[in-house]
Amino acid sequence: MFRSVLSRRQSHPTLARRVDALIPREVIEEIRERTDIVDVVSQVVTLRRKGSSLMGLCPFHQEKSPSFSVVPAKGIFHCFGCQEGGDVFAFVQKTQGVSFFEAVKELGEAVGLAVEERELTREERQRMRARASLHEVLGLAADWFHAGLVARPSGRDAMAYLNNRGIDRETVEKWKIGYAPDSWDGLLTHLHSRGVSADQAIQAGLARPSRNRQGSAYDLFRGRIIIPIEDSRGRVVAFGGRILPRLDEGDTPKYVNSPETPVYRKSSVLFGLPRARSAIQRRGRCLIVEGYFDVISLHQAGFPEAIATCGTALTVEHLKALRPLTRAVVALFDADEAGLRAAERSLPLFVDAGIEARRLELGDAKDPDEYVQSAGAEALEAALDRSEPLLDLVLRRAIAQYGSTPGARRDSLARVAPILRRMDGPSRRAAVSLVARRLHLVEHEVDEAAGLAVGERSDVSRPARWRGSKHLNHILWLLIHYPGPVIPVLTEPSVDPTRITAHPGALQTVGRLISGDSLAAIQADLDDSDLQRVLRAAAARSDLYTEEAAAGAARQILTRLEVDSLRGKLVDADRGLAACDPSRDWTKYAGLLEEKKRILTEKKRLEKLLRTGGAS
């Protein structure tokens, strides 16, 4: 009986430490109820409805066909490919790299519920306070820079420069563009008046320690137009500063960027992504450019899907953030040699990420900003339609370097072969065909060259995961989706719960589902990641049975489980008969024969019920 199973439910010390010691359970459940998991996930993944769930490309592993599912009714996400999953708190933890407490606090603030801080570890408390302090300091700096452009006389030249570049006042306000006056300590003085020390300003990347005067510091940004850089949550984490032309003395760097800090890593931040995310999802493409002003100018011209790296080369982490949003990227790198090399170096990264990368040649324009300012938005849109595969650029540069003789063609092929080896499926066939056409080769020659140095795959075996059983997983599915008609079947007096599963955690989970506990609460209590995975997969699947067939399906499963049990008893009976000598103990032997006959009769009866549908 499931009553006895429920009476043996164990406490969950891990959960008690994680939840009760930090946040009351009722607060967590209230935040969970008020938070729309679809809204949270959609900030990272482009979702499309499929039945009662929504599907998209998984943000946790590379894939070309969507296997990442969000089930709003159950408040969970689950990837059928990599098996990653959990509730809305887990999604924030995994995508933002924060603790459980930090995820609950953030989501609580979003829905207007304050989360009381108590009994945090010293490390967690220090980390949260330090990060919060840096965000506050950076926010104060952003406000001061912006006021320096729009509200102080010292910003007039900077505003005139922006106007000459075609940047209007609305765009200045939207991007909160600012100006840092040509002063050694203007920002430091302002921050000091707000209670911010020089050490904090240095830690935030806003100042540098003085070499000449110990204990003093000076502003990093001086005489520069300031572009705030935001993280995925729209918080200012860094700045880019462009020198005013009148202050450029020739050897002055045109751009100065914030150094890396506890809240800013260049390799993972894409400039403009918080503002571009919805447009990338809506338009199904992303434009990657090199400069801050390229992004700003393209957004103003009607291309809000534009983003840029922050003074660094494109990285795997950048593409990991883009991959769930779109698989179509057009690179608009500068037309100089540095831009061409950057485009060529990025191709293997795009291939590994499963993103179709194209490139747009901008003609005589040195960058996208200049192109859209001179040619206009319509011309840029038409040019985007003519963009070429990035592989074409790599091939052209190889041919230009090596020539077109038979030996030179082999050299060009050797240059692109490593890229072809990274591809798979239809994308590889299309690429092989392109390479063959450009190099005047037949496809099998390209195939052979691409396969010459194919590395051997590692044959390291992975530890086996517990995946449940077909019958258990179907019972879990029925209880999650149609508990009403199924619970009466499973709680009939004749049902032996241990027939469903011998796994203690799974047995308790079935009991908790029967008792009406929510899936989210059960998932939160579980320490068994395999069982969590099985539950999420059951919740994410939506087409196993209809509601009308649910009760009958449960009865059929129970009957099949009984048949399986009888098969095991038959094996035991045969073993008993083989071990028993009828000449010495006929009574025992006859009893075993009678027991085997009874088992066979019951097994045949149940199998007939299954064949005729009587079990349902």
Query: At residue 237, what is the residue type?
Result: V
225 has which bridge partners? 179, 242
Whether the pLDDT of residue 271 is over 50: the answer is yes
| Dihedral pair phi/psi, residue 594, rounded to 5° | -65, -40
Between residues 56 and 213, the one the model is more confident about: 56
| Residue-by-residue DSSP string for 62-90 | --SS--EEEETTTTEEEETTT--EEEHHH
pLDDT at residue 21, as a whole number: 45
pLDDT at residue 22, as a whole number: 58
Asked which of 15-24, 115-124, 230-239, 298-307 is least confident by mean pLDDT, the reply is 15-24
Average pLDDT over residues 10-15: 39
**CA nearest neighbour of 298 among 178, 393, 379:** 379
The answer for residues whose C-beta is within 8 angstroms of residue 356's C-beta and 6 or more apart is 327, 328, 329, 350, 389, 427
What value does the mean pLDDT of the chain take? 85
Average pLDDT over residues 284-312: 94
pLDDT at residue 455, as a whole number: 38
Average pLDDT over residues 480-504: 85
Question: Are the beta carbons of 394 and 347 closer than 8 angstroms?
Answer: yes
Assigned CATH topology for domain 265-386: Dna Topoisomerase Vi A Subunit; Chain: A, domain 2 (3.40.1360)
**CA nearest neighbour of 200 among 148, 142, 133, 256:** 133
Confidence of residue 322 (pLDDT cuts 50, 70, 90): confident
Distance of CA 548 to the CA centre of its chain: 37
Quick: pLDDT tens for 408-445.
Answer: 888 888 888 888 888 877 788 888 889 988 888 888 77
- Alpha-carbon distance of 474 to 534, in angstroms, equals 11
CA angle 357–361–365, rounded 5-degree value? 135
243 has which bridge partners? 224
Quick: pLDDT tens for 106-137.
Answer: 898 888 887 765 555 667 666 666 666 888 99
pLDDT at residue 9, as a whole number: 44
Q: Which two tokens stand for residue 86?
A: 């959990």
**What is the share, in percent, of the chain residues with pLDDT greater than 90?**
33
Burial group, residue 234, by CB count within 10 angstroms (0-12, 13-18, 19+): exposed
- Alpha-carbon distance of 284 to 292, in angstroms, equals 22
The number of beta carbons lying within 10 Å of the beta carbon of residue 342 is: 17
Domain ranges of the chain: 2-110, 126-257, 265-386, 388-452, 470-612
- The answer for 591, left when phi > 0, alpha when psi is -120 to 50, beta otherwise, is alpha
Question: Are the beta carbons of 514 and 487 closer than 8 angstroms?
Answer: yes
Whether the pLDDT of residue 529 is over 90: the answer is no
Whether the pLDDT of residue 496 is over 60: the answer is yes
**What is the share, in percent, of the chain residues with pLDDT greater than 70?**
90
| Dihedral pair phi/psi, residue 454, rounded to 5° | -65, 120
Asked which of 7-16, 75-84, 418-427 is least confident by mean pLDDT, the reply is 7-16
Q: Quick check: helix, strand or coil at residue 149?
A: helix
Asked which of 124-138, 305-319, 512-526 is least confident by mean pLDDT, the reply is 124-138
Assigned CATH topology for domain 2-110: DNA Primase; Chain A (3.90.580)
pLDDT at residue 525, as a whole number: 83
Average pLDDT over residues 560-587: 85
pLDDT at residue 341, as a whole number: 86
pLDDT at residue 198, as a whole number: 92
Which range, 182-191, 204-213, 516-525, 591-600, is most confident?
182-191
Quick: pLDDT tens for 204-253.
Answer: 999 999 887 766 899 999 999 999 999 887 889 999 999 998 777 667 89
Question: Are the beta carbons of 406 and 441 closer than 8 angstroms?
Answer: no
pLDDT at residue 252, as a whole number: 83
Query: At residue 290, what is the residue type?
Result: E
Question: Are the beta carbons of 471 and 500 closer than 8 angstroms?
Answer: yes
| Residue-by-residue DSSP string for 329-391 | EEE---SSHHHHHHHHHHHHHHHHHT-EEEE---TT-SSHHHHHHHH-HHHHHHHHHT-EEHH
- Alpha-carbon distance of 530 to 61, in angstroms, equals 18
Whether the pLDDT of residue 2 is over 60: the answer is no
Query: Right CATH number for 126-257 from 1.10.2020.10, 3.30.1490.100, 3.90.980.10, 3.40.30.10?
Result: 3.90.980.10
Confidence of residue 453 (pLDDT cuts 50, 70, 90): very low
| List of E strands, 137-272 | 178-180, 207-209, 217-219, 224-230, 236-243, 255-257, 270-271
The number of beta carbons lying within 10 Å of the beta carbon of residue 210 is: 14
pLDDT at residue 296, as a whole number: 97
Say how many CA atoms lie within 13 Å of 28 toward its Cβ: 23
Between residues 270 and 233, the one the model is more confident about: 270
Whether the pLDDT of residue 70 is over 60: the answer is yes
Which range, 177-181, 215-219, 445-449, 607-611, is most confident?
177-181
Asked which of 38-52, 120-134, 261-275, 346-360 is least confident by mean pLDDT, the reply is 120-134
* C-alpha dihedral, 511 to 512 to 513 to 517, nearest 10°: 160
CA angle 188–194–219, rounded 5-degree value? 10
Q: What share of residues in the chain are helix, strand, coil (percent, to 5)?
A: 55, 10, 35
Q: Quick check: helix, strand or coil at residue 48?
A: strand
pLDDT at residue 464, as a whole number: 52
**CA nearest neighbour of 56 among 324, 249, 312, 304:** 324
Quick one: DSSP state of residue 439?
H
Distance of CA 207 to the CA centre of its chain: 34
The answer for residues whose C-beta is within 8 angstroms of residue 167's C-beta and 6 or more apart is 177, 293, 296, 297, 300
The number of beta carbons lying within 10 Å of the beta carbon of residue 613 is: 9
pLDDT at residue 255, as a whole number: 93
pLDDT at residue 377, as a whole number: 93
- Alpha-carbon distance of 155 to 141, in angstroms, equals 15
Whether the pLDDT of residue 303 is over 90: the answer is yes
Q: Which two tokens stand for residue 580?
A: 């028993």
| Residue whose entry in the numeric block shows the structure tokens 């692109």 | 416
| Residue whose entry in the numeric block shows the structure tokens 């679809």 | 38
**CA nearest neighbour of 380 among 270, 276, 319, 306:** 306
Whether the pLDDT of residue 1 is over 90: the answer is no
